[in-house]
Homo-oligomer: A and B are copies of this chain.
Amino acid sequence: MPAAKPFLLGVLGGMGPLATVDFQYKLLAATPADSDQQQLPSVVWNVPQIADRQQALAGSGPSPLPQMLHGIGKLNQAGATHIVIPCNTAHHWFDDLSRASAAPLLHIVDATLDHLAGLPQQPQRVGLIATQGTLDAGWYQNALAAKGIEALLPAHEELQQWFVPGCYAVKRGALQEGGELLALQARALLARGAERLLLACTEVPVALHAIDAPFLTLADDPAQLLAQRCAEIWLESRHSYFSHTQSNNLNK
């Protein structure tokens, strides 16, 4: 029987590039490690020259799928054993990407809902901060409803006024400005009765942490929960990884 390939996490990033780097911090923080060598190994395709996902889903721009498939191919070629996409909206193309990938893709909604299911006290109403594309897809709403949790959604005008300009501010590096806009969106959902928030767009936690928003204690970050899922898989295979690499020199 051939030895299993050693664990290597492939990260299909670039959507956006800052959220990709932020996700890598989350991977490190989620992994208990006493040395470099115990940390999670990854290969990261952080190529942001990719069609805008929000525009594509709004019908006003080309599909990002060709460039995403290109990245999935590169990650498989590099030896990835698992692949994640630290971008909620990009999960619109999850099934197409899964079919094209030898390495299994881990879904960000699965990681999030497994976490919520494990909470000692389930909230009744969760505010969902996400792009129009993610909201239209209904992944989070459906998964929450299946657990008897109501999803409170941003109004269309709120998205236009706060969410969209907040995200694009993050994408051009204006974290303070982005954080203030996104905080308005978060506070509106809390004011409408949300007990917790799901920050289901990877730009959002980056910006809210930058302004040190006090309501972050009430927020769950799907990217963080996806990072934790990756760390759990790595920890399970860490022992066998070391035995494997000792008997099979990596330089091949």
A-B pairs, 8 with minimum CB distance: A66-B251, A44-B44, A41-B47, A36-B48, A16-B36, A17-B39, A21-B24, A70-B251
- On whether A49 and B250 interact (CB within 8 A), knowing A28-B21, A39-B17, the answer reads yes
Say whether A36 contacts B171, CB under 8 Å: yes
Say whether A241 contacts B49, CB under 8 Å: yes
A217 / chain B contacts, CB cutoff of 8 Å: none
Give A13 Cβ to nearest chain B Cβ, in Å.
9
Would you call A218 an interface residue if the criterion is a C-beta within 8 Å of the partner chain's C-beta atoms? no
Say whether A46 contacts B49, CB under 8 Å: no
Give the contacts of A22-80 with B (CB-CB under 8 A): 24-25, 28-29, 33-50, 52, 66-67, 69-70, 74, 77-79
What is the copy number of this chain in the assembly?
2
Say whether B37 contacts A49, CB under 8 Å: yes
Would you call A239 an interface residue if the criterion is a C-beta within 8 Å of the partner chain's C-beta atoms? no
A74 / chain B contacts, CB cutoff of 8 Å: 43, 78-79
Give A170 Cβ to nearest chain B Cβ, in Å.
10
- On whether A172 and B79 interact (CB within 8 A), knowing A24-B46, A49-B241, the answer reads no
Would you call A121 an interface residue if the criterion is a C-beta within 8 Å of the partner chain's C-beta atoms? no
Give A10 Cβ to nearest chain B Cβ, in Å.
11
Within the complex, which residue of B20, B25, B41, B172 is in contact with A14, where a contact is CB–CB below 8 Å? B41
A24 / chain B contacts, CB cutoff of 8 Å: 20-21, 24, 46
Say whether B67 contacts A29, CB under 8 Å: no
Closest to A168 in B: B35
